[in-house]
A and B are shown apart, each in its own frame.
Chain A
Amino acid sequence: MAQAIRRVTIVGASLAGLRAAETLRRHGYDGALTLIGDERHRPYDRPPLSKQLLLGTWTPEQTFFRQKDGYEPLALDLRLGVPATSLDLRGRRVTLADGTWADYDRLIIATGARVRTLPGIAPRPGLLVLRTLDDAVALREALTTATRVAVVGMGFIGLEVAAACRSRGVGVVAIESLPVPLAPIVGPTLGETLLAMHADHGVEVRTGVTVTGIYGEPRVAGVALSDGSRVDADVVVVGIGVVPNTEWLESSGLPLDNGVVCNGSGEAAPGVYAAGDVARMANVWYGEAPRIEHWTNAVEQGVHVAEQMLGSADAAASFSSVPYFWSDQYDRKIQFVGRARPHDEMVVVDGSTAERRLTALYRRGDRVVACLTVNQPRALIKYRKLLASHPSWDTALSDISAT
């Protein structure tokens, strides 16, 4: 019989950490529960930051998962605005930047990720990123006076920033090192479709070039590109991916390799779990232990580790999940489920790239491995369910003709 759990500490007060805390309480855990966050804000939702918040239709308060009084039922020791600095596995203690600490008999690591920055470029006014609520508020403020924004990196965040800028009437130059943005994720054809959509909305597109420098002192004035050209801009937004927040764990002895490596229970060491963007959790559906940065992954893993920790009856033994994400750009909702690789075949099975309303399936051998939809949410729901069972191509196609 395992010793009763009386002290759980969760490091990371965003989606995965919050869902883990909620799950522990829902299953009746009534011991001490400490939730530590490095930002001063209460836990907030990130997807609206690059959408409603930048567009100005939401206030920062609307991104909070719970209002202040919403934390009373969770009975948390909520410590905000203080990062964790180290972990002592043997002593079961997390040390924080203000010199305090939190002891635990079970630990959940949900410290997420932070933006990657341009190497060798010093921070300066007008050089912005988008990851946190403070980032989003700063960018929104900058957009009120900006005339031309350079977006560096045409990943989904960069494209949402570009869309928000154009929707606000701000000029945009989007810069991408790949010849076709997002090609490794959605394939070249649909990458071109997205590129064309942005061009049609007035985004000036520069692909196949990298940023070699930033002009302007002290304030940003533009970007130097690898083809020798220069792009003038009064705001530069860098969206070139994220890196997991694992530095505070480096001396702990936990297995770290582009994230906290953990098994299908989410355990990285006995009694120590990881969830969300920072975790590389073994995923049965995926077939390996990927690090996934999606919203639904943070929810599922936060819930999963809490249930594993408590030995809850409805907890699956091993984590299994089909990755899912979405992106809102202009009047289009792009949804993607599964995992495509660069050489998978993509087939548009409904709609068309010309209409920019479509359902595409990705094929590897005789299996369907992923589905992308543009403004076809019902098809996405159908294929998300189907993909869980690694369907054959024929099964997926007969499923279409049956509806």
Chain B
Amino acid sequence: MKVVVDLSSCDLHGLCVEAAPEVFEIADDGALRLLNETPPDDLRAKVDKAVRECPTGAISIIE
């Protein structure tokens, strides 16, 4: 899978960081950073959680 974040919609709630810390982090500059754009399939459940819990719908998965 490939993960895409629309940074213009990101509101820094950080729920994705909790759901999938292997994939998302808030960087030192305060912006969301994607640690791995193509995470392995065993992280799928975690990334799905990040997608559905994002209050601004900023995360999508491109198969």
Contact = CB atoms under 8 A, between A and B. Distances in A.
Interface of A: 19, 22-23, 26, 45, 47, 65, 295-296, 299-300, 303, 314, 326, 333, 335, 377-378, 380-381, 384-385
B55 A295 contact: yes
A384 B14 contact: yes
Contacts of A377: 12-14, 26, 30
A296 B55 contact: yes
A26 B52 CA distance: 12
B52 A19 contact: yes
B15 interface: yes
B14 A380 contact: yes
Given A26-B48, A378-B26, A47 B55 contact: yes
A380 B26 CA distance: 12
A381 B55 contact: no
A22 B30 CA distance: 32
A66 to B, nearest CB: 10
Contacts of B22: none
Contact of A385 (B13, B18, B55, B57): B18
Interface in B21-59: 26, 30, 45, 48, 52-53, 55, 57
Interface residues of B, number: 15
Interface string B1-24: 000000000011111011000000
Interface of B: 11-15, 17-18, 26, 30, 45, 48, 52-53, 55, 57
A331 B30 CA distance: 17
Contacts of A314: 45
Nearest to A47: B55
Given A295-B55, A378-B30, A381-B26, A326 B48 contact: no
A366 B14 CA distance: 27
A300, A314, A380, A381: residue with the most chain B Cβ atoms closer than 10 Å: A381
Contact of A303 (B11, B13, B52): B52
Contacts of A326: 13, 55
B22 to A, nearest CB: 15
Given A299-B52, A378-B12, 5 more contacts: A65-B57, A300-B53, A333-B11, A377-B14, A378-B14
Contact of B18 (A303, A333, A384): A384
14 contacts: A45-B57, A47-B55, A296-B15, A299-B53, A300-B53, A314-B45, A335-B13, A377-B26, A377-B30, A378-B26, A378-B30, A381-B26, A384-B18, A385-B18
Nearest to B18: A385
Contacts of A65: 57
Nearest 3 pairs of A and B residues by beta carbon: A381-B14, A377-B12, A378-B26
A381 B48 CA distance: 19
Nearest to B53: A299
B34 to A, nearest CB: 16
A381 B52 contact: no
Contacts of B52: 19, 22-23, 299, 303
B61 to A, nearest CB: 12
A299 B50 CA distance: 11
Nearest to B27: A378
Contacts of A47: 55
Contacts of A335: 13
Nearest to A382: B14
Contacts of A384: 14, 18
Contacts of B57: 45, 65
